[in-house]
Amino acid sequence: MNAKQPPPRAAAAAGCGPIRPDNGQPTAPLRSRVFETVRSAGHIPRIDVAKSLGVSPASVTAQVGELMEMGLLNEVPDTARPTARGRPPVALAVRADAGFVVGLKLSRTQHTALLVDLAGQPIAETTLACGPRRRSLDQCLTEAATLFDRLLAQTGLTRGDISCLGLGLPGMVDHAAGRVVWSPMLTGTDLALRGAAEDRFGVPVAVDNDANLVTLAELWFGKGRAMADFAVITIEQGVGMGLVIGHRLYRGAQSLGMELGHTKVQMDGALCQCGQRGCLEAYVADYALVREASTALDMIQEDRESMAMTLERLYDQAKAGNQAARVIFRRAGRFLALGLANVVHLFDPPLIILSGERMRYDYLYAEDVLAEMQRLTLNRATAPQAIQIHAWGDLMWARGAAALALSHMTEAMAAPQ
């Protein structure tokens, strides 16, 4: 395998990917399980791989030999086991330059891209500002191509060097079929996103919705790496949910599940951007807060002012003591508490991670909001649901898209031929 060297970067951190007790389902090919064990550890001796998987050292050695011949693994000094004499101890590590993937997150106002190597280490990132209008699929992919090429220009790599591109956007996305059923940023419905993107970029593409991207970011790089089961709730321009069961992302029978933002909390209620009424996100998402601000505070959004700027003004007023502004956040927080209680009753996850840029707005997860969530759940007096806050910032979406691409790429590379 001819590896192209990217620009120098900081030393690699610990591994990435889910940390599973046996690093994969027992039915998965042993080669894939060995590779995932090494990737999740960062570096690990052969004997520890065998112990982790519960197989013989000889079986691991055979699979490692094949993975090294394929250029996916190499040996590195095992600094954790110093020795005074004899052959220096070695560990296994993913050969970082054996492949590169790109994670690309599309949104109404800003697209974000991240290039990572096969070991999951970031190499380059970039963003592209765009108007908040809806656009056609072709227009969206033209913007994505601009961002893709801008990212590659930073590294000296070409499209031919990219093994897979992970692509995510808001809305209902059928991951398996590669289609967008509906998105608030696109005109048209039931669009063949994956096929159109592969034709435009000339590389394999994996697609998913943005809430699943954040969940993958938590599963691969964040608070959920060692968790078998957890839920992620995202609050941005919409309200999304991702669910991990048995260390794996659960999408539903048609990859269209976990649409928490479009569960109904008010019959004939506020109009949602999906066209229906009473959805949770119509009371919690960005546009819902801006709508309330324009009504209660006469805070009209100017044409040249972004929704984010309006939200910042609303938040500043709440912090300054404006009671009307505080009531807006408090109302949104109560609806969020209701949504979280529903998640607990439906799935009973041991951990719920509240993630997204709106987690900077502490009114949405204030102590009284989380206490109300607990009051709305049954049989929780002795074991309140664990809640964690993780405000990653905008790059988290692209990092999840990169995890999507890595998963797609390594499944193909490490599977038996």
Supply the residues annotated as catalytic.
210
CA quadruple 216, 309, 311, 105: dihedral, nearest 10: -10
Residue type, 351: L
- What are the backbone angles phi and psi of residue 93, rounded to the nearest 5°? -145, 155
Q: How far apart are CA 277 and CA 288, in angstroms?
A: 12
